[in-house]
Amino acid sequence: MQEDNYRHKGMRKLLVEELRNKGISDENVLNAINNVPRHAFLDSSFLDFAYQDKAFPIGSGQTISQPYTVAFQSSLLEIQKNMKVLEIGTGSGYQACVLAEMGAKVFSIERQRKLYMKTKAFLSEFRYHIKTFLGDGNKGLPTFGPFDRIIITAAAPEIPQTLIDQLKIGGMMVIPLSENDDHQTMLRLTKQEDGSMKRETYGDFRFVPMLEGVGND
C-alpha cells in the first residue's frame, strides 16, 4: 500500500474545503473524506491528481467516482454508527471505506471478477472490515439483510424490487436512476411502514451503467 504522508494529508484538507464550498455540510462525511487516503485506491501514475474533484479509470471499464459524488451520496444516506449498509458496485473500494470510516458495517457487491479480486486483496490490507462479494448487484444479499441503508454506485435503469425487499422499514436507498444515456437523477428512497417508498430527487449525475450478471473483465 502506498504511504500516506504530510503532502497527501495536506491535499485532502484542501479537497475537504473544496467539497465544503460546493455545499457538502455533513461533518461526518467530511471527516471521513479527510481520513481515507484516496491516492491509495488509484494507480501511482494518478498520484498528483488523486485529490482533484474528478473521476478516474480503475480498469474493467469502471471508474472511481469524483469525491463530490461520493460525499453527496454519503450525505444522503445519513449514516449512524453500526448501521448495516449494502453497496452495489464495489469498484475501487473507496466509497465503501468512506462509509466504514463513518461507522457503517459495509457489505459490498462487485460484478466484475478481475476488479473484485484486485479490490478484495487491496481492502484486506486496510483497517476497515468490509465484506466483499462477487455477484449480480441487482439480486443484493438477501442472506445478510435486511439493511439500514442501500447505496447504488452505478446508473440503474429501474429500481430493483429485490433491493427494496432487503431494506428495513425506515431504511433509505440512494440510487442514480437513468433518465437517458447522458445522465441520471439521484434519488433517495425511504421505506414506509406499508412497504411503499417515499421518493426525493437530488439533481443530475453521471455514472457507469448498472449491469446484470457477473463479468470477467
Report how far residue 26's alpha carbon sits from residue 171's, in angstroms, rounded to the nearest whole number: 19
Cell of 216: 470477467
For residues 85 and 106, the answer to whether their CB atoms sit within 8 Å is yes
For residues 128 and 106, the answer to whether their CB atoms sit within 8 Å is yes
DSSP state of 112: B
Report how far residue 21's alpha carbon sits from residue 16's, in angstroms, rounded to the nearest whole number: 9
Question: Exposure string (b/e) for 64-85, b if CB count within 10 Å is 16 or more?
Answer: bbbbbbbbbbbbbbbbeeebbb
* Active-site residue, from 25, 45, 65, 74: 65
Report how far residue 41's alpha carbon sits from residue 122's, in angstroms, rounded to the nearest whole number: 8
Helices 27-35 and 67-77 pack at an angle, to 10 degrees, of 140
Based on the residue annotation, tell me whether 178 is a catalytic residue of this protein: no
Q: Scanning the structure block, which residue is given the C-alpha cell 481515507?
A: 36
Q: What is the set of active-site residues?
A: 65
